[in-house]
């Protein structure tokens, strides 16, 4: 089963759902096709969404468009292609479909007309010639080339070919040399694009005014350039939002940079420790990738479970020791009881301020805060006994610390997904965490707040593939 949360203003996800869905709801193909003379049956294999419409791939060769289509809301149209669909990329005005045979089909959303796109090999691969007068290439065989990756932004569409050529469709803008690793992932935001190669290097180009390129200069880049702050870090996953970007390393760390207007970077909008009467804002733009901590709830559960047997055993050992000591010293003197104290090990979440905002405007100031959750108390061992006991307890505590350290690093981030102004993080255990704009409920947290500037767990769903539309989040079955 597939699920979505967020904007449904044009009934693109079906007429039975509200305009604003706050928690993941099932995407029912029959509901979407209701009142339409379609006879499509099959499994949804791919999903992608713009703010106003959604595209579903049914089986291998059928496409269903639902939402604001042909300039009318609540509209459903279908298209059947001749080859198996490899990838779809959704823009505001068009959808590009990449077929397994390398063909590209462009579908105009306003007219629902489709056309084959042909832009490869329309220009010389290089103006340089060798001493024999032969045209030089970048080292790849230029006779056969095909598109491998596509992505759509608001104002442009991009593609990367098998020979590592980069196109701002239809113009070729860059050629990676034969020494460069092949591009394995391509994503785009409103005005920028990111590419990831098999070596773990990230390249960015496009508009950088809001820091989305990962460059301190915040200038436009016309061709792909290495994101220098991430150089030397092996990146395994990338994503691009409206004006922000995300990358996940092979160590399970997540880096976010760009525009933080709605807390989509997981960085608080207001500084800590400042009186509510005089709040001070943090910067709204972070041009350098920021390492953001995301703590999975499964760690806390495991830590509590692991501590319990340790405390019980220690308590039993302490009782036996005191009993033995008491019997051996009974004849000579009576020793006073040593009080046992308790220590607290707090485990708490940070405050999440609630700010009123809209998708088109920056958030207005608000001082509302939610109550902090109570700390979780966990007894620690009192070591005010004999020196011999002290050493034994130290060993046990060190062993317990090792367990906790292992648990803290055992659940890492595996992927990040960016919408227009929100971010979804997937953990190793399958859980999801969300942050950023919640104007249309796209965070799936069940909150009515317009934004959340610290990562919170989406408790209603886990272990799914994710696609972030500008104002929605889609969870798809893993196959």
Q: For residue 86, is it within any domain?
A: yes
Structure tokens at 194: 């990111």
Does 386 map to a domain?
yes
Nearest CA among 254, 255, 259 for reference residue 296: 254
- Same domain? 233 vs 107: yes
Instruction: Check residue 389 and give its pLDDT.
Output: 54
Do both 101 and 157 map to the same domain?
yes
Check whether residue 247 and residue 306 sit in a common domain.
no
Q: At 149, which helix (H) or strand (E)? A: strand 147-152
Tokens, residue 100 = 């397994």
Q: Tally the C-alpha atoms within 13 A of residue 197's C-alpha that lie toward its C-beta.
A: 24
Q: How far apart are CA 219 and CA 98, in angstroms?
A: 31
165 occurs within a structural domain: yes
- What pLDDT shows up at residue 290? 97
Same domain, 153 and 215: yes
How many CA atoms, within 13 angstroms, populate the side-chain half-sphere of residue 207?
14
- The alpha carbon torsion through 430, 435, 438, 444 (nearest 10 deg) reads 10
Residues in the chain: 479
Measured CA to CA, the distance from residue 192 to residue 230 in angstroms comes to 17
111 and 216 together in one domain: yes
**What does the buried/exposed string (b/e) look like for 367-393 if buried means 16 or more CB atoms within 10 Å of the residue's CB?**
eeeeeeeeeeebbbbbbebeeebeebb
Do both 403 and 432 map to the same domain? no
Residues 204 and 310 grouped into a single domain: no
Does a structural domain hold residue 135?
no
Three-class SS string for 218-238? CCCEEEEEECHHHCCCCEEEE
The gap between the terminal CA atoms of the chain, to the nearest Å, is 11
Same domain for 314 and 451, yes or no, is: no
Q: Is the dihedral of CA 120, 124, 130, 131 positive or negative?
A: positive
Task: Give residue 137's pLDDT.
Answer: 56
Looking up tokens 């799936």, which residue turns up? 444
Quote the tokens at residue 403.
Answer: 């367990």
Residues 406 and 427 in one domain: no
* Peptide bond between residue 170 and the one before it cis (omega within 30 degrees of 0): yes
Determine the Cα–Cα distance for residues 151 and 343; give it in Å rounded to an integer.
Answer: 54
Residues 79 and 192 in one domain: yes
Task: Note whether residue 80 is domain-resident.
Answer: yes
Q: What is the pLDDT of residue 352?
A: 35
Q: Are 53 and 181 contained in the same domain?
A: yes
- DSSP letter at 42 equals S
CATH of the domain at 198: 2.130.10.30
Is position 327 within any domain? no
* DSSP character at residue 136: P
Check if the beta carbon of residue 136 is closer than 8 Å to that of residue 148: no
State which residues form the domain around 287. 3-123+142-295+415-476
Task: Give mean pLDDT in consecutive 10-residue pieces for the chain, a chain of 479 residues.
Answer: 95 93 91 66 89 94 95 93 95 95 94 92 54 53 80 92 94 88 96 96 97 95 96 97 97 97 96 78 96 82 49 45 46 40 38 39 40 35 48 57 50 96 96 97 95 95 95 89
What pLDDT was estimated at residue 460? Answer: 93
Distance, CA of 15 to chain centre = 28
3-state secondary structure (DSSP) of residue 48: strand
- Which residue in this structure is represented by tokens 């932004």? 153
Q: Residue 478's pLDDT is what?
A: 76
Separation in Å, CA 66 to CA 12, 95, 111: 5, 12, 14
DSSP assigned state of 156? -
R_g over Cα of the chain = 28
User: What is the tally of structural domains in the chain?
Assistant: 2
SS3 state of residue 215: coil
Residue 130 falls inside a structural domain: no
* Helix-then-strand count for the chain, H and E: 3, 28
Residue 466 and residue 394 share a domain = no
Residue 435 lies in a domain: yes
Q: Give, to the nearest 10 degrees, the angle between helix 297-328 and helix 387-408.
A: 170
Kindly report the pTM of this predicted structure: 0.75
Give the 3-state secondary structure of residue 321.
helix
Strand partners, 185: 196
């Amino acid at each position: 089963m597939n699920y979505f949360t967020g904007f449904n203003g044009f009934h693109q996800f079906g007429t039975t759902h509200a305009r604003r869905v706050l928690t993941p709801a099932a995407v029912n193909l029959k509901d979407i096709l209701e009142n339409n003379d379609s006879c499509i049956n099959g499994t949804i294999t791919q999903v992608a969404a713009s703010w106003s419409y959604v595209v579903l791939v049914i089986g291998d060769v059928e496409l269903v468009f639902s939402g604001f289509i042909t300039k009318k809301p609540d509209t459903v149209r279908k298209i059947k292609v001749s080859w198996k669909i490899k990838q779809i990329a959704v823009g505001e005005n068009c959808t590009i479909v990449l077929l397994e045979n390398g063909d590209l089909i462009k579908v105009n959303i306003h007219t629902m007309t489709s056309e084959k796109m042909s832009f490869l090999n329309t220009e010389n691969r290089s103006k340089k010639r060798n001493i024999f007068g032969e045209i030089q290439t970048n080292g790849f065989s230029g006779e056969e080339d095909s598109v491998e990756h596509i992505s759509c932004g608001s104002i442009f569409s991009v593609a990367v070919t098998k020979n590592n050529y980069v196109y701002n469709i239809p113009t070729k803008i860059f050629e990676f040399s034969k020494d460069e690793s092949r591009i394995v992932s391509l994503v785009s935001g409103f005005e920028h694009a990111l590419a990831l190669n098999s070596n773990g290097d990230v390249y960015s180009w496009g508009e950088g005014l809001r820091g989305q390129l990962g460059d301190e200069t915040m200038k436009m880049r016309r061709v792909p350039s290495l994101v220098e702050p991430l150089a030397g870090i092996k990146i395994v996953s990338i994503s691009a939002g409206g004006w922000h970007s995300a990358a996940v390393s092979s160590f399970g760390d997540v880096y976010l940079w760009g525009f933080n207007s709605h807390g989509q970077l997981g960085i608080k909008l207001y500084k800590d420790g400042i009186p509510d009467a005089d709040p001070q804002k943090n910067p709204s733009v972070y041009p350098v990738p920021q390492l953001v901590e995301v703590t999975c709830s499964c760690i806390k559960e495991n830590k509590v479970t692991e501590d319990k047997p340790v405390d019980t055993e220690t308590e039993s050992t302490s009782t036996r020791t005191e009993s033995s000591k008491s019997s051996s010293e009974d004849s000579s003197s009576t020793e006073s009881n040593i009080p046992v104290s308790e220590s607290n090990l707090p485990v708490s979440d940070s405050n999440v301020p609630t700010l009123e905002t809209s998708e088109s405007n920056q958030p207005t100031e608000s001082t509302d805060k939610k109550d902090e959750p109570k700390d979780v108390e966990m007894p620690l061992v009192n070591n005010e006994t004999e020196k011999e006991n002290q050493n034994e307890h130290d060993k046990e505590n060190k062993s317990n610390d090792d367990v906790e350290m292992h648990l803290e690093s055992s659940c890492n981030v595996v992927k990040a997904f960016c919408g227009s102004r929100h971010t979804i993080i997937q953990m190793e255990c399958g859980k999801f965490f969300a942050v950023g704009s919640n104007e249309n409920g796209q965070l799936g947290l069940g909150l009515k707040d317009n934004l959340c500037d610290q990562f919170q767990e989406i408790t209603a769903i886990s272990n799914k593939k994710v696609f972030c539309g500008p104002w929605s989040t889609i969870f798809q079955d893993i196959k």
